[in-house]
Amino acid sequence: MLKENLENVEQKIQAACERSGRDRSEVTLIAVSKTKPAEMVQEAYDLGIRLFGENKVQEIMDKSEVLPADIHWHMIGHLQRNKIKYIIDKVDLIHSVDSLRLAEAIEKEAAKKHVIAKVLIEVNVGREESKFGFLPEELDDFVEKASDFSHIQFMGLMTSAPFVDNPEENRPIFEELRKLSVDIARKNAHNMSMSILSMGMTNDYEVAIEEGATMVRVGTAIFGARNYAQTNVR
């Protein structure tokens, strides 16, 4: 089942790249394994997946203890400041920097561990009250203040588009995030490369790729529907 799911997702990524005149190598698949047991992550690993996305710090800590060391973990959920210290040197990328206070806390913890934290700025392009992230008009002020950080490398932007029946409805969301990324890149801040656009999930990743996504976060299409009652991640 997992093998067929991955093959199907891969075919759709390839097709979306071809439609938009892009090379398949420009798009990175993050397998979203949140709430899924370590055994299922291992199965995906055995099929060649190395990049996994998690929503909770505890799941990253628990799973990283029992799974292969060459897995690249991505923190894609809301990150609480008091949890940063547990994952600052365990994750490849934090997708969800949604406030100046969080960025300041990451800078502090990264300095303590003598690492450069790679992060994305989360933007609430859809302006949903239920979601975290900067509003587009708040970005300029944040970029100005965050450009002094020496232990953070801002790699790009992330958004979680609204859940819609027709993925085409989210095309303007993805288009706007891409434009915002270009605007920030023009500022030439030393710690902001804007090389990553993390956008698109199971419901709309094909449209996101057509609009320039360099990372897509796909869970349900790979692992099946999530069991949110699942508490034992081992």
For residue range 9-38, what is the model confidence (pLDDT) as tens digits? 999 999 999 999 999 999 999 999 999 999
Alpha helices in the chain (DSSP H): 2-19, 38-46, 57-66, 84-87, 100-113, 139-146, 171-185, 205-210, 220-223
Predicted pLDDT of residue 227: 63
The pTM assigned to this predicted structure is 0.95
Sequence-distant (≥ 6) Cβ neighbours of residue 207 within 8 angstroms: 16, 167, 168, 170, 171, 174, 200
d(CA 31, CA 74): 9
Write out pLDDT tens, residues 150-184. Answer: 999 999 999 999 999 999 999 999 999 999 999 99
> By three-state DSSP, how is residue 192 classified?
strand
The rounded distance, in Å, linking the Cα atoms of 117 and 198 is 17
Angle at 207 between CA 204 and CA 209, to 5 degrees: 110
Contact in structure between 126 and 97 (CB atoms under 8 Å) = no
pLDDT at position 230, please? 45
Q: Which domains does the chain have, with CATH numbers?
A: 1-218 (3.20.20.10)
* Residue 30, H or E segment: strand 28-32
- CA 35, 39, 43: angle at the middle one, nearest 5? 110
d(CA 209, CA 215): 8
Task: Identify the segments of the chain with pLDDT beneath 50.
Answer: 230-234
Name the DSSP class of 72: E
- What are the residues whose beta carbons fall under 8 Å from the beta carbon of 118, sequence distance 6 or more? 92, 93, 94, 152, 153, 155
Dist. CA 173–CA 20, nearest whole Å: 17
For residue 56, what are its two tokens? Answer: 């909770």
